């Protein structure tokens, strides 16, 4: 009993009240506005130069490539114009040597070669026709999803700010990555135009808008995967900093006729100074020992990369409790312990290693409705090297998991709710559509339900407003979404 009470006490530290949700929404809207007004705000609010969302009637064949980490994906997408599409794709690992190449040319030549192989394999007719007699008609527009920090200067222009995720090619920094890719494509004489530089959240928004039923386009594309971020449709005249960006950075011309601009919020850095975000000892320790203390504070409480680590720290606190009668995994004689063997934690248990618990562990435990939490027990044994945990141990772990997962979902609701309110869409439309992607929102049981519960608690949304919000999975942001952005870009030329 003592263990259960202590687990509940720790879980309560993760409570995120109705009042806090309300405060969070207010601050989120304030930071959104600030980001629209000036550069260098906490939330970057980056203009994507995409100025319209699709409605499902778009047609044509497009290419999309995605460089986001270890793999490079190439795909072609045929848009059927009736909200459906077909997708052909290939994937190769980027050789390690190229990630740290001396010259940018070496990496981008490799990427162009993969596009050539893809064309030869899947679109040889176009490839051969172009060889015989080059003509503008044979060209395919390509959307380039490039998941590294870039200064976007136009729909197909963006300068690399810095590499992340193990890439390190000094020479490429400050260069336009679309031009780098186009140069290598041209050197191979491929009928391909790099038409758009794509952020994955903008891709998610576009993909959802193409496939989702209904006349009103999608408002938000949001990712809750390894990281978290969102893009939304903003009114161009509210993007006050646009004039300054155009003047200072020499942005390319873009289509202003729709009066809209899709904004990549970069909400992972919402409230980096912790004025409204919850902050437990476990959050603080995670941040202090991370590679970027004080940065991406919202993401560190919400996304898949971090929830397992928060849980690990909370479990350790309970395991290391001074009072042996309370501590986790110390049960030896409880009647509940059906194995009647000693509970032990392996010396090399992932519990002792930073990042030792994957967020999929939380999904498994949250979902467990088995008799005597058998599945949780097995998972503790298999994944965390805890032998013979008691029923009480399993219940305590589940209590912690639930608290951490629910808080993440309620924080997600702060971001989504704030965007819904700041755009005034609940007033303007009958339905507000949100596309989401990422393993956390896809697999964590009840994630959407907790988001909705929090929506109802926000006075400006309430029960009626929540009913008007539709949330749906949007897969393939970097394929379908990138293709749709390439289409938008080619139309604007
Ligand atoms: P990415 O965001 O990298 O494109 P994903 O959307 O698959 O890819 O997210 C991966 C993240 O999701 C990892 O941090 C992983 O720990 C977490 N994750 C993987 N499976 C699950 C799951 N079943 N439930 C919750 N989180 C998961």
* Two structure tokens written together for 101: 């190449």
State the pLDDT at residue 22.
98
pLDDT in tens, 245-261: 888 767 677 888 999 99
What is the C-alpha separation between 339 and 319, in angstroms, rounded?
20
The ligand 1 atom at the shortest distance from the C-alpha of residue 439 is: 6
* Two structure tokens written together for 308: 């397992």
CB of 268 shorter than 6 A to ligand 1? no
* Spatial CA neighbour of 46 closest among 302, 342, 261, 300: 261
CB of 444 shorter than 6 A to ligand 1? yes
H helix intervals, 346-390 = 359-367, 374-384
Ligand 1 atom 6, closest CA: 438
Here the ipTM equals 0.98
As a whole number, the mean pLDDT across the chain is: 93
What is the C-alpha separation between 247 and 161, in angstroms, rounded?
19
* Two structure tokens written together for 39: 């550069």
Q: Report whether pLDDT(476) > 90.
A: no
Q: What is the Å distance from ligand 1's center to 358 Cα?
A: 8
Q: H or E stretch including 131? A: helix 124-132
State the pLDDT at residue 244.
85
Told to judge if 212 belongs to the known catalytic residues of this protein, a careful annotator would answer no
pLDDT in tens, 387-445: 999 999 999 999 999 999 999 999 999 999 999 999 999 999 999 999 999 999 999 99
pLDDT in tens, 366-395: 999 999 999 999 999 999 999 999 999 999
Told to judge if 147 belongs to the known catalytic residues of this protein, a careful annotator would answer yes
State the pLDDT at residue 134.
75
Q: Report whether pLDDT(334) > 60.
A: no
Task: Show the domains of the chain with their CATH numbers.
Answer: 1-48+213-475 (3.40.367.20), 59-198 (3.30.420.40)
| pLDDT band at residue 267 under the 50/70/90 scheme | very high
* Catalytic residue (one of 176, 200, 331, 433): 200
Average pLDDT over residues 7-25: 98
What is the C-alpha separation between 72 and 362, in angstroms, rounded?
29
Q: Report whether pLDDT(493) > 70.
A: no
Q: How many CA atoms lie within 13 A of 273 on its CB side?
A: 7
What is the C-alpha separation between 178 and 335, in angstroms, rounded?
65
Told to judge if 269 belongs to the known catalytic residues of this protein, a careful annotator would answer no
CB of 439 shorter than 6 A to ligand 1? yes
| pLDDT band at residue 162 under the 50/70/90 scheme | confident
pTM: 0.93
Q: Report whether pLDDT(466) > 80.
A: yes
């Amino acid at each position: 009993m003592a263990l259960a009470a202590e687990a509940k006490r720790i879980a309560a530290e993760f409570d995120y009240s109705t009042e806090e949700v309300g405060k969070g929404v207010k601050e989120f809207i304030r930071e959104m506005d600030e980001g629209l007004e000036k550069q260098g705000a906490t939330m970057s609010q980056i203009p994507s130069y995409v100025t319209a969302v699709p409605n499902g009637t778009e047609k044509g064949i497009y290419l999309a490539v995605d460089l986001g980490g270890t793999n490079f994906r190439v795909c072609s997408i045929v848009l059927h114009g009736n909200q459906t599409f077909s997708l052909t794709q290939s994937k190769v690992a980027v050789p390690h040597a190229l990630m740290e190449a001396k010259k940018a040319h070496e990496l981008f030549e490799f990427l162009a070669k993969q596009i050539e192989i893809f064309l030869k394999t899947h679109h040889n007719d176009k490839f051969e026709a172009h060889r015989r007699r080059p003509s503008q008609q044979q060209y395919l527009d390509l959307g380039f999803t490039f998941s590294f920090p870039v200064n976007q200067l136009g729909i197909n222009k963006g300068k690399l700010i810095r590499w992340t995720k193990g890439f390190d090619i000094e020479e490429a920094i400050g260069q336009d990555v679309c031009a780098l890719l186009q140069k290598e494509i041209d050197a191979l004489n491929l009928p391909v135009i790099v038409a758009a530089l794509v952020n994955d959240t903008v891709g998610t928004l576009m993909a959802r808008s193409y496939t989702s039923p209904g006349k009103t386009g999608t408002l938000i594309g949001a990712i809750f995967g390894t990281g978290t971020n969102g893009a939304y449709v903003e009114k161009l005249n509210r993007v006050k900093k646009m004039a300054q960006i155009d003047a200072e950075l020499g942005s390319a011309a873009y289509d202003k006729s729709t009066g809209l601009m899709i904004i990549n919020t970069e909400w992972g850095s919402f409230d980096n100074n912790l004025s409204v975000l919850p902050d437990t000892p476990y959050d603080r320790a995670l941040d202090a020992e991370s590679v970027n203390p004080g940065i991406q504070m919202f993401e560190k409480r919400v996304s898949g990369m971090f929830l397992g680590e928060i849980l690990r720290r909370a479990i350790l606190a309970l395991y290391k409790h001074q009072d042996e009668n309370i501590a986790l995994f110390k049960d030896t004689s409880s009647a509940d312990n059906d194995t009647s063997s000693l509970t032990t934690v392996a010396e090399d248990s992932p519990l002792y290693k930073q990042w030792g618990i994957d967020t999929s562990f939380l999904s498994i435990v949250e979902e467990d409705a088995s008799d005597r939490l058998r599945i949780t027990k097995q998972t503790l044994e298999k994944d965390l090297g805890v032998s013979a945990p008691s029923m009480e141990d399993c219940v305590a772990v589940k209590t912690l998991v639930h608290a951490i997962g629910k808080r993440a979902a309620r924080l997600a609701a702060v971001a989504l709710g704030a965007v819904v309110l700041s755009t005034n869409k609940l007033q303007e439309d009958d339905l507000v559509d949100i596309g989401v992607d990422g393993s956390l929102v896809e697999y964590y049981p009840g994630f959407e339900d907790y988001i909705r519960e929090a929506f109802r608690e926000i006075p400006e949304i309430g029960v009626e407003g929540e009913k008007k919000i539709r949330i749906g999975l949007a897969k393939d942001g970097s394929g379908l979404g990138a293709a749709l952005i390439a289409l938008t870009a080619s139309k604007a030329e």
